[in-house]
């Protein structure tokens, strides 16, 4: 079985924002960087310390940027500038709102944390550093490592972006159970860097140190470039005995780990519910088919399975679940290869079909008595057919399932409502997971299946005497999978000398009962005088686990229960100084106060595939006097037309109470009015305009919006890639908006003309086959599989072209007073021959100098420099007419 591991991920990068990529020119020098991670009984406490000095003769801006695990809680941050320390203070979000508003009104970044990927979120603080001044940054966060497929993993992503005189990573691990194995790996390691790595291990302790010299860091003796750019990994597991798990006690708190070894696997009854709607066309459906082929091969012979494939219509592969014999698996694989994407999305009907199938098989006693029944849903969109109200779907599925089967919901990409899927899963004993639209999406699906492929126990109850335990985390679990681990933590009564533990669970062939008496004094002695211990770590572990579980219960709780859960989680967050979704950290610096909020996975669906949560960029609100007022911050984004806000709202503009009046036209119009009437305030208006193109820069992980100043009717070379056989030209209309795109694809030869009126596909003949011409209207949702190109039209919304040698692009049908077309490259793996207005950005492009407020940059594109400003533009990639995208905006001439 292929192993995939849980990751504690840290990416550290200190940038300056003022320099070209050759960072030494900016005068900001990182002279010390230290990552110190202490892992005590799976609970990780990480301290990141970076020291910088400004060698320039003028003040410069330094940016402290760290990527940390999404499952971690920040506990502290501070800056020390010339001997004075500026701390971060964690408060309830409502209490931090005043500082947040004040920061926004001053035109400052009011958000320091954003989601950046599958497992990471980014913490970033900017500060001006005076000439010759020194700054020390220190960030601390904590996280409980989760065991996955038999291993724990620390992944430290090393990316200093310059040579560092004193660079060091230290990882101290203390596991009282004993360390069964320890290994390290790095993606950037060379023979020279190997000499900088030391690893010391005994029965219960390990220390991994990585301390490269300047010479070892260099790519070559003559270059000032660093080799330190990649992943540094530490993997380990602990020894386990055939007992009731391991109990550890410190200062009146206990933690109980239970992960039995060598247990027989319970059979699975599994139904895969696969979305094949039109939005899955292209790479998504190909990756799903690829993953299913592998997953079906990995079914155990004792398992039973079926497939439900749905769009607007629902198809069961078989009328009942079949045993996973070689013959049945091969038949299923053949069926999977015939799946084609088209039609709408009936999630409600598909899930009810799967539940009914399991109900029939259970009633007919066709399934093994001691088995686990589960449904795995994979979808990439919102329900559009049948029952489309998500609340009604949740109610229907919960009622039909009645707690009988596990429902795992996998959301493909960012078009799904993760909030909807998460509640759907949690109400039905499962979990939700986002599948990211990357080249390894098929592998992500397989990895998830591996996690749930081997159930070994069900209906597990961890029992502790009521008079011995005062507070406890979740202690009953529906299922335990091989390679994972159950963790229970709690507070002991003062009178307890011995903690009796009893575990009851259903195994394959018997009802399992395990008992153990833990001597409190003996257990506490294990942790005496250990340099690895960081304070009352078990108490903090208990608080961390309790907050996580309270927030998870909140998702599916009834309204009257949610307030109680939220209050308890908030109080614990404040008591233990955790930045959670209920708290904010006010970061003080010499010139401002900023606020760090913790993003959640559900936030991604509101802000697009790039996950920018708290720094959407800036826009200029112009008054009648001609003055310009920059606004930055997520709440201002909300004020400017995000769904759910009233048409009138009040906020602070430079400390003055202001009312915002929103007119929802195209583009939306914002008008600001003075609230207190004490002083005259001009009325401001702001217009968000549509860009011609929205472009994700792969090299910079940022977005560019492009507007072309061309002549109406004159063809413009939008993108030309001879290596891929793709040519895209466009024509501007009289209003200087694109009204036509011509796409030519040479493998085989297909031409696609997309205008405001229709989509025309021409497949060229070869002497024996006549050319084929197909016309698709904008008034229908439909698909056409041309040779080498899959074409999917969403009624009056967009046309998606996919399958062109791993290339995909979307043309949006933008509804304004005169409809026009906007182009977005959704997946582009170009050759180095690519040119054109868009193509030129994919190679040899980098950002240049940035102003102190990060609103202006220069962008060097293949040797030519352009000025860019940070703006919010209308985002035609989304269905909502109110959505905007933060991007670097350029005006280009072809």
| pLDDT surpassing 80 at residue 509 | yes
Q: Are 210 and 188 in contact (CB under 8 A)?
A: no
pTM higher than 0.95 for the full model?
no
Q: What is the pLDDT of residue 11?
A: 38
Do the domain assignments include residue 522?
A: no
Do the domain assignments include residue 17?
A: yes
Q: What is the pLDDT of residue 428?
A: 95
Q: Could you tell me how many helices (H) and strands (E) the chain has, helices first?
A: 15, 55
Are residues 365 and 284 part of one domain? Answer: yes
Q: If you search the block for the tokens 């989601």, which residue do you land on?
A: 115
Do the domain assignments include residue 726?
A: yes
Domain count along the chain:
4
Residue that wins the pLDDT comparison between 890 and 115: 890
Q: Which two tokens stand for residue 869?
A: 């400003």
Q: What is the pLDDT of residues 578-589, one digit of tens each?
A: 999 888 888 877
Do the domain assignments include residue 274?
A: yes
Q: Are 320 and 366 in contact (CB under 8 A)?
A: yes
How far apart (Å, rounded) are the C-alpha atoms in residues 731 and 737? 8
Q: Are 9 and 120 in contact (CB under 8 A)?
A: yes
Q: What is the pLDDT of residue 422?
A: 92
Q: Are 396 and 427 in contact (CB under 8 A)?
A: no
**In what side-by-side order are the strands of the sheet with 772-777?**
716-721, 726-732, 738-746, 749-755, 758-763, 772-777
Are residues 702 and 661 part of one domain? Answer: no
Q: Select from 337, 442, 324 the least CA-distant residue to 2.
A: 442
Q: At 39, which helix (H) or strand (E)? A: strand 28-40
| Arithmetic mean of pLDDT, 344-355 | 95
Are residues 178 and 120 part of one domain? Answer: yes
How far apart (Å, rounded) are the C-alpha atoms in residues 728 and 715? 10
Q: What is the pLDDT of residues 87-134, one digit of tens each?
A: 888 888 777 766 656 555 554 444 466 555 667 788 888 888 888 889
The β-bridge relationship of strands 738-746 and 702-708 is unpaired
Are residues 681 and 713 part of one domain? Answer: no
How far apart (Å, rounded) are the C-alpha atoms in residues 391 and 520? 48
How far apart (Å, rounded) are the C-alpha atoms in residues 266 and 368? 9
| pLDDT surpassing 80 at residue 730 | yes
Our CA angle for 563, 566, 567, nearest 5°, is 85
**Euclidean distance between the first and final Cα of the chain, in Å?**
53
Q: Select from 146, 137, 158, 163 the least CA-distant residue to 77.
A: 137
Do the domain assignments include residue 566?
A: no
Are residues 297 and 234 part of one domain? Answer: no
Q: What is the pLDDT of residue 9?
A: 36
How far apart (Å, rounded) are the C-alpha atoms in residues 45 and 171? 10
pLDDT band at 863 (very low <50, low <70, confident <90, very high): low
Sequence-distant (≥ 6) Cβ neighbours of residue 499 within 8 angstroms: 247, 249, 254, 464, 465, 468, 469, 492, 517, 518, 520
Residue that wins the pLDDT comparison between 211 and 110: 211
| pLDDT surpassing 70 at residue 816 | no
How far apart (Å, rounded) are the C-alpha atoms in residues 156 and 153? 10
Residue that wins the pLDDT comparison between 348 and 701: 348
Identify the CATH number of the domain in which residue 397 sits. 3.40.50.410
| pLDDT surpassing 90 at residue 569 | yes
Please state, in angstroms and as integers, the Cα–Cα distance from residue 798 to each residue in 342, 651, 702, following that order: 15, 36, 23
Q: Which two tokens stand for residue 39?
A: 């892992």
Q: Are 105 and 635 in contact (CB under 8 A)?
A: no
Do the domain assignments include residue 232?
A: yes
Q: Are 856 and 836 in contact (CB under 8 A)?
A: no
| pLDDT surpassing 70 at residue 557 | yes
| Arithmetic mean of pLDDT, 764-793 | 75
The β-bridge relationship of strands 166-174 and 28-40 is parallel
User: Which one of 453, 476, 494 terminates a domain?
Assistant: 453
Q: Are 693 and 687 in contact (CB under 8 A)?
A: no
Q: What is the pLDDT of residues 517-529, one digit of tens each?
A: 999 999 988 887 6
Are residues 709 and 681 part of one domain? Answer: no
Are residues 366 and 409 part of one domain? Answer: yes
| pLDDT surpassing 70 at residue 538 | yes
Residue that wins the pLDDT comparison between 686 and 503: 503
Do the domain assignments include residue 209?
A: yes
How far apart (Å, rounded) are the C-alpha atoms in residues 553 and 545? 12
pLDDT band at 211 (very low <50, low <70, confident <90, very high): very high
| pLDDT surpassing 80 at residue 674 | no
Are residues 342 and 292 part of one domain? Answer: yes
Q: What is the pLDDT of residue 485?
A: 96
User: Which one of 687, 722, 742 terminates a domain?
Assistant: 687
Q: What is the pLDDT of residues 142-192, one digit of tens each?
A: 999 999 989 998 888 788 888 999 999 999 999 999 999 999 999 888 888
Please state, in angstroms and as integers, the Cα–Cα distance from residue 441 to each residue in 157, 279, 288, following that order: 21, 16, 8
Are residues 849 and 723 part of one domain? Answer: yes
Structural domain containing residue 810: 693-892
| Arithmetic mean of pLDDT, 540-545 | 96
**Partners of residue 5 on adjacent β-strands:** none
User: Which one of 687, 713, 731 terminates a domain?
Assistant: 687
Do the domain assignments include residue 575?
A: no
**Partners of residue 376 on adjacent β-strands:** 272, 408
- Collapsed DSSP state (helix, strand, coil) of residue 253: strand
**Partners of residue 847 on adjacent β-strands:** 859
Sequence-distant (≥ 6) Cβ neighbours of residue 510 within 8 angstroms: none
| pLDDT surpassing 70 at residue 608 | no
Are residues 169 and 88 part of one domain? Answer: yes
Q: Which two tokens stand for residue 438?
A: 């990357």
| pLDDT surpassing 50 at residue 365 | yes
How far apart (Å, rounded) are the C-alpha atoms in residues 789 and 782? 14
* Residue 797 backbone dihedrals phi, psi, to 5 degrees: -130, -55
Q: Are 457 and 468 in contact (CB under 8 A)?
A: no
Sequence-distant (≥ 6) Cβ neighbours of residue 36 within 8 angstroms: 46, 47, 48, 49, 170, 172
Q: What is the pLDDT of residue 606?
A: 42
Please classify residue 283 by burial: count the beta carbons closer than 10 Å to its beta carbon, then call 0-12 exposed, 13-18 middle and 19+ buried.
Answer: buried
Are residues 704 and 647 part of one domain? Answer: no
Rg, Å, the chain Cα set: 29
Q: Are 59 and 52 in contact (CB under 8 A)?
A: no
How far from chain centre, in Å, is Cα 596? Answer: 17
How far apart (Å, rounded) are the C-alpha atoms in residues 577 and 140? 11
Are residues 718 and 670 part of one domain? Answer: no
């Amino acid at each position: 079985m292929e192993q995939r591991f849980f990751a504690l991920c840290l990416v550290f990068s200190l940038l300056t924002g003022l320099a070209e990529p050759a960072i030494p020119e900016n005068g900001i020098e990182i002279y010390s960087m230290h990552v110190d991670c202490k892992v005590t009984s799976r609970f990780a406490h990480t301290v990141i310390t970076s020291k910088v000095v400004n060698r320039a003769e003028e003040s410069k801006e330094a940016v402290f940027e760290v990527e940390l695990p999404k499952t971690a809680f920040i506990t502290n941050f501070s800056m020390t500038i010339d001997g004075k320390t500026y701390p971060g203070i964690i408060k309830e979000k409502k209490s931090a709102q005043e500082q947040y508003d004040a920061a926004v009104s001053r035109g400052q970044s009011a958000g320091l944390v954003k989601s950046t990927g599958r497992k990471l979120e980014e913490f970033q603080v900017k500060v001006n550093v005076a000439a010759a001044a020194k700054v020390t940054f220190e960030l601390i966060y904590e996280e409980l490592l989760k065991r996955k497929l038999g291993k724990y993993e620390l992944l430290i992503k090393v990316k200093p972006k310059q040579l560092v005189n004193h660079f060091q990573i230290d990882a101290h691990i203390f596991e009282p159970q004993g360390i069964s194995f320890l290994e390290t790996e790095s993606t950037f390691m060379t023979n020279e860097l190997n000499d900088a790595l030391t690893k010391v291990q005994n029965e219960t302790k390990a220390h991994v140190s990585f301390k490269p010299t300047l010479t070892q860091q260099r790519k070559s003796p003559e270059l000032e470039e660093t080799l330190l750019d990649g992943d540094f990994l530490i993997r380990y597991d602990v020894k386990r005995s055939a007992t009731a798990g391991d109990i550890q006690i410190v200062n009146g708190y206990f933690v109980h780990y239970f992960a039995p070894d060598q247990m027989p696997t319970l059979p699975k009854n599994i139904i895969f519910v696969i979305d094949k709607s039109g939005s899955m066309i292209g790479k998504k459906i190909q990756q799903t088919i690829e993953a299913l082929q592998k997953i079906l091969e990995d079914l155990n012979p004792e398992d039973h399975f079926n497939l439900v494939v749905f769009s607007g219509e629902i198809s069961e592969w078989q009328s009942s679940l079949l045993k996973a014999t070689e013959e049945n698996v091969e038949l299923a694989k053949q069926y999977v290869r015939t799946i084609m994407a088209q039609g709408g999305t009936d999630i409600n009907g598909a899930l009810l079909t799967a539940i009914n199938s399991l109900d029939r098989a259970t009633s007919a006693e066709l399934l093994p008595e001691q088995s686990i029944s589960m449904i795995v849903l994979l979808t990439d969109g919102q329900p559009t057919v049948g029952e489309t109200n998500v609340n009604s779907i949740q109610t229907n599925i919960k009622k039909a399932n009645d707690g009988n089967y596990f429902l795992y919901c996998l959301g493909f990409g960012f078009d799904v409502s993760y909030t909807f899927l998460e509640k759907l899963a949690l109400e039905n004993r499962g979990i939700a997971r986002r599948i990211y639209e990357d080249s390894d999406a098929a592998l992500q699906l397989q990895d998830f299946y591996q996690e749930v492929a081997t159930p070994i126990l069900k209906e597990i109850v961890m029992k502790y005497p009521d008079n011995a335990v005062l507070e406890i985390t979740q202690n009953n679990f529906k299922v335990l999978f091989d390679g994972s681990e159950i963790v229970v933590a709690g507070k002991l009564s003062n009178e307890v000398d011995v903690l009796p533990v009893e575990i009851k669970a259903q195994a394959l062939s018997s009802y399992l009962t395990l008992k153990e008496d833990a001597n409190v004094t003996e257990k506490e002695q294990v942790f005496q005088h250990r340099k690895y211990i960081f304070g009352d770590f078990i108490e903090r572990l208990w608080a961390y686990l309790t907050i996580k579980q309270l927030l998870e219960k909140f998702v599916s709780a009834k309204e009257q229960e949610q307030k109680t859960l939220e209050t308890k989680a908030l109080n614990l967050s404040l008591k233990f100084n955790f930045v959670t979704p209920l708290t904010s950290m006010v970061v003080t610096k010499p010139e401002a106060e900023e606020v760090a909020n913790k993003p959640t996975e559900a936030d991604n669906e509101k802000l697009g595939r790039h996950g920018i949560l708290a720094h959407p960029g800036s826009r200029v609100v112009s008054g009648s006097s001609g003055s310009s007022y920059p606004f930055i911050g997520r709440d201002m984004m909300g004020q400017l037309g995000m769904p759910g806000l009233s048409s009138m709202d009040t906020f602070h503009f430079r400390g003055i109470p202001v009312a915002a009046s929103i007119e929802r036209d195209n583009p939306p119009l914002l008008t600001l009015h003075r609230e207190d009437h004490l002083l005259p305030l001009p009325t401001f208006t702001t217009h968000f305009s549509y860009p011609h193109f929205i472009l994700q820069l792969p090299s910079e992980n940022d977005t560019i919006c492009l507007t072309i100043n061309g002549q109406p009717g004159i063809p413009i070379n939008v993108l030309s890639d001879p290596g891929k056989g793709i040519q895209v030209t466009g024509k501007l209309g009289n209003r200087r908006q694109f009204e036509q795109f011509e796409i030519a694809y040479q493998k085989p030869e297909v031409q696609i003309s997309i205008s405001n009126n229709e989509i025309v596909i021409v497949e060229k003949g070869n002497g024996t086959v006549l050319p084929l011409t197909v016309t698709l209207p904008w008034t229908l949702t439909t698909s056409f599989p041309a040779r080498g190109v899959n074409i999917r039209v969403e009624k009056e919304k967009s046309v998606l072209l996919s399958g062109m040698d791993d290339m995909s692009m979307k043309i949006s049908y933008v509804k304004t007073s005169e409809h026009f077309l906007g182009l977005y490259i959704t997946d582009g793996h170009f050759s180095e021959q690519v040119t054109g207005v868009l193509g030129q950005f994919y190679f040899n492009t980098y950002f240049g100098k940035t102003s102190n407020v990060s609103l202006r940059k220069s962008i060097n594109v293949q040797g030519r420099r352009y000025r860019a400003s940070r703006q919010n533009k209308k985002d035609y990639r989304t269905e909502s007419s109110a959505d905007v995208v933060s991007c670097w905006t350029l005006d280009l001439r072809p």
